[in-house]
A and B are shown apart, each in its own frame.
Chain A
Amino acid sequence: MTAAAEKAPPDGTREEVGRARRRKEDARLITGRTQWTDNIQLPGTLHVAFLRSPLAHARIQQVDTAPARGLPGVVAVYSGADFAAEQGSLPCAWPVSDDLVVPDHPPMAVNEVRYVGEAVACVVATDRYKAADALAAIEVDYEPLPAVLDMNEALADGADKVHEAGNKAFTWTFAGGDIDAAFRDAPVVIHRTYVQQRLIPSAMEPRAVVATTDGDTCTLYSATQIPHVLRVMLALTTGIPEHRLRVIAPDVGGGFGSKLQVTAEEVLLLLMTRRLGRPVKWTESRSEGNLTVHHGRDQIQRVKLAADRDGRVRGLSVDLLADMGAYLMLVTPGVPLLGAFMYNGIYKMDAYDFRCTGVFTTKMPTDAYRGAGRPEATYAIERVMDELAAELGIDPIDVRRRNWIAHEEFPYTTIAGLTYDSGHYEAATDRATALFGYADLRAEQARRRQSRDPVQLGIGVSTYTEMCGLAPSRILGSLRYGAGGWEHAEVRMLPTGKVEVVTGSSAHGQGHETAWSQIVADSLGVPFEDVSVLHGDTAVAPKGMDTYGSRSLTIGGMAVLRACEKVKDKARHIAAHLLEASAEDVEYTGGSVRVRGTGAGRTIQENALAVFTAHDLPDGVEPRLDAQATFDPENFSFPHGTHLCAVEVDTETGMSRIRSYVAVDDVGKVVNPLIVEGQVHGGLAQGIGQALFEEAVHDADGNLLTTTLADYLVPSAADLPDFITDRTETPAVSNPLGVKGVGEAGTIASTPAVVNAIVDALRPYGVNDVRMPCSPERVWRALNGGAS
Chain B
Amino acid sequence: MIPPAFDYVRPASLGQACRALAEAGEDAKVLSGGQSLIPLLRLRLSYPTVLVDIGRLPEPRAIRDEDDHVFIGATATLDEVVRSAVVNAEVPLVALAARTVADPAVRHRGTFGGSLAHADPAGDLPAVALALDCEFVIASARGERTVPAAGFFQDYLETALAPDEILVGVKVPKLGPGWGFHYEKFHRTAQAWAIVGVAAAVRRADGGVAAARVALTNMGATPLRATAVEAALRGVPADADAVAGACAGADAGTSPPADLHARPDYRRHLARVLTRRAVLAAARARP
Contacts and interface: CB of A to CB of B under 8 A. Distances in A.
Interface string A625-660: 000000000000000000000000000110100000
Nearest to B276: A652
Contacts of A697: 260
A129 B1 contact: no
Contact of A775 (B5, B42, B261, B274): B261
A199 to B, nearest CB: 15
B1 A285 contact: yes
B40 to A, nearest CB: 12
Given A697-B260, A776-B188, A710 B266 contact: no
A154 to B, nearest CB: 24
A777 B262 contact: yes
A711 to B, nearest CB: 6
Interface residues of A, number: 29
Main secondary structure of the interface of B (DSSP, over half): loop
A287 B192 CA distance: 17
A697 B259 CA distance: 11
A136 to B, nearest CB: 9
Given A697-B260, A775-B261, A710 B193 contact: yes
B270 interface: yes
B270 A133 contact: no
B260 A129 contact: no
Interface string A129-145: 10011000000000000
Contact of B2 (A129, A652, A705, A716): A129
A781 interface: yes
Given A133-B4, A285-B1, A781-B266, A705 B191 contact: no
Nearest to A705: B260
A719 B189 contact: yes
Given A129-B2, A711-B260, A775-B261, A716 B273 contact: no
Interface in A663-718: 693, 697, 705-706, 708, 710-711, 713-716, 718
Contacts of A498: none
Contacts of A655: 186
A697 B4 CA distance: 28
A7 B13 CA distance: 71
Contacts of A285: 1-2, 42
A708 B39 CA distance: 10
Contacts of B263: 777
B190 A719 contact: yes
Contacts of B192: 710, 713
Interface string B175-209: 00000000000101111110100000000000000
Interface of A: 49, 128-129, 132-133, 285, 287-288, 652-653, 655, 693, 697, 705-706, 708, 710-711, 713-716, 718-719, 775-777, 780-781
30 contacts: A49-B2, A128-B2, A129-B5, A132-B1, A133-B2, A285-B1, A287-B1, A288-B1, A653-B270, A653-B273, A655-B186, A705-B260, A706-B260, A708-B43, A710-B193, A711-B260, A713-B192, A714-B189, A716-B189, A716-B190, A716-B191, A718-B189, A718-B190, A719-B189, A775-B188, A775-B261, A777-B261, A777-B262, A780-B269, A781-B266
Interface of B: 1-2, 4-5, 42-43, 103, 186, 188-193, 195, 260-263, 266, 269-270, 273-274
Ranked nearest first, the 3 interchain pairs of A and B with the lowest CB-CB distance are: A718-B190, A132-B2, A285-B1
